[in-house]
Amino acid sequence: IVDEGHRLKNHECALAKTLRTGGYRIKRRLLLTGTPIQNSLQELWSLLNFLLPHIFNSVQNFEEWFNPPFAERGSADLTDEEELLMINRLHHVIRPFLLRRKKSEVEKFLPG
Protein backbone atom coordinates (compact mmCIF):
# COMPACT_ATOMS: atom_id res chain seq x y z
CA ILE A 1 0.00 0.00 0.00
CA VAL A 2 1.42 3.36 -1.02
CA ASP A 3 -0.25 6.33 0.64
CA GLU A 4 0.16 9.61 -1.22
CA GLY A 5 0.50 7.44 -4.32
CA HIS A 6 0.84 10.47 -6.56
CA ARG A 7 4.48 10.48 -5.42
CA LEU A 8 4.93 7.73 -8.03
CA LYS A 9 3.76 9.92 -10.91
CA ASN A 10 7.40 10.32 -11.96
CA HIS A 11 8.46 6.88 -13.20
CA GLU A 12 12.11 7.73 -12.50
CA CYS A 13 11.71 9.02 -8.93
CA ALA A 14 13.64 7.29 -6.15
CA LEU A 15 10.53 5.68 -4.64
CA ALA A 16 9.39 4.22 -7.97
CA LYS A 17 12.87 2.88 -8.71
CA THR A 18 13.18 1.35 -5.23
CA LEU A 19 9.83 -0.40 -5.48
CA ARG A 20 10.57 -1.57 -9.02
CA THR A 21 14.14 -2.81 -8.54
CA GLY A 22 14.49 -3.37 -4.79
CA GLY A 23 13.87 -7.09 -4.96
CA TYR A 24 10.39 -6.81 -3.49
CA ARG A 25 7.92 -9.54 -4.42
CA ILE A 26 4.72 -7.51 -4.38
CA LYS A 27 1.59 -9.58 -5.05
CA ARG A 28 -1.03 -6.90 -4.50
CA ARG A 29 -0.64 -3.19 -5.01
CA LEU A 30 -2.77 -0.30 -3.86
CA LEU A 31 -2.21 3.42 -4.34
CA LEU A 32 -4.02 5.96 -2.20
CA THR A 33 -4.12 9.51 -3.50
CA GLY A 34 -6.45 12.45 -3.71
CA THR A 35 -4.91 13.56 -7.00
CA PRO A 36 -4.38 10.62 -9.39
CA ILE A 37 -4.37 12.80 -12.50
CA GLN A 38 -2.68 16.17 -12.38
CA ASN A 39 -0.72 17.16 -15.45
CA SER A 40 -0.12 14.56 -18.13
CA LEU A 41 -0.76 11.12 -19.54
CA GLN A 42 2.81 10.15 -18.61
CA GLU A 43 2.01 10.73 -14.93
CA LEU A 44 -1.13 8.60 -15.15
CA TRP A 45 0.79 5.89 -16.99
CA SER A 46 3.42 5.85 -14.25
CA LEU A 47 0.75 5.14 -11.62
CA LEU A 48 -0.89 2.45 -13.75
CA ASN A 49 2.54 0.97 -14.54
CA PHE A 50 3.21 0.57 -10.82
CA LEU A 51 -0.15 -1.15 -10.32
CA LEU A 52 0.03 -3.46 -13.35
CA PRO A 53 3.49 -3.32 -14.94
CA HIS A 54 2.81 -6.30 -17.22
CA ILE A 55 -0.20 -4.53 -18.77
CA PHE A 56 0.93 -0.89 -18.74
CA ASN A 57 4.50 -1.66 -19.76
CA SER A 58 5.06 1.09 -22.35
CA VAL A 59 4.40 4.78 -21.96
CA GLN A 60 4.71 5.15 -25.74
CA ASN A 61 1.93 2.62 -26.38
CA PHE A 62 -0.21 4.26 -23.71
CA GLU A 63 0.21 7.71 -25.28
CA GLU A 64 -0.40 6.38 -28.80
CA TRP A 65 -3.69 4.90 -27.68
CA PHE A 66 -4.95 8.35 -26.67
CA ASN A 67 -3.31 10.52 -29.33
CA PRO A 68 -4.47 9.23 -32.75
CA PRO A 69 -6.05 10.48 -34.83
CA PHE A 70 -5.13 13.84 -33.30
CA ALA A 71 -1.38 13.39 -32.76
CA GLU A 72 -0.23 15.71 -35.52
CA ARG A 73 -2.25 18.61 -34.11
CA GLY A 74 -1.78 20.35 -30.80
CA SER A 75 -4.40 19.85 -28.10
CA ALA A 76 -5.52 23.46 -28.55
CA ASP A 77 -6.77 22.50 -32.04
CA LEU A 78 -9.04 19.67 -30.87
CA THR A 79 -12.74 19.95 -31.57
CA ASP A 80 -15.18 19.42 -28.72
CA GLU A 81 -16.02 15.99 -30.16
CA GLU A 82 -12.35 14.94 -30.32
CA GLU A 83 -11.72 16.12 -26.79
CA LEU A 84 -14.78 14.21 -25.56
CA LEU A 85 -13.57 11.07 -27.37
CA MET A 86 -10.19 11.26 -25.62
CA ILE A 87 -11.83 11.83 -22.23
CA ASN A 88 -14.15 8.87 -22.76
CA ARG A 89 -11.21 6.64 -23.73
CA LEU A 90 -9.36 7.71 -20.62
CA HIS A 91 -12.36 7.06 -18.37
CA HIS A 92 -12.82 3.63 -19.92
CA VAL A 93 -9.20 2.69 -19.20
CA ILE A 94 -9.00 3.97 -15.62
CA ARG A 95 -12.50 3.03 -14.43
CA PRO A 96 -11.44 -0.43 -13.13
CA PHE A 97 -8.57 1.13 -11.16
CA LEU A 98 -10.22 4.16 -9.62
CA LEU A 99 -12.47 4.38 -6.58
CA ARG A 100 -13.50 7.94 -5.92
CA ARG A 101 -15.22 9.25 -2.83
CA LYS A 102 -16.15 12.88 -2.34
CA LYS A 103 -15.62 14.53 1.01
CA SER A 104 -19.38 15.06 1.32
CA GLU A 105 -19.88 11.29 1.06
CA VAL A 106 -17.41 10.30 3.78
CA GLU A 107 -17.11 13.22 6.19
CA LYS A 108 -19.94 11.91 8.40
CA PHE A 109 -17.76 8.84 9.08
CA LEU A 110 -14.66 10.87 10.02
CA PRO A 111 -13.87 11.84 13.61
CA GLY A 112 -15.00 15.35 14.58
Average pLDDT over residues 99-109: 90
DSSP letter at 38 equals S
Output the pLDDT for position 14. 93
Q: Which residue has the higher pLDDT, 35 or 3?
A: 3
The answer on pLDDT for 43 being more than 60 is yes
What average pLDDT is seen over the chain?
84
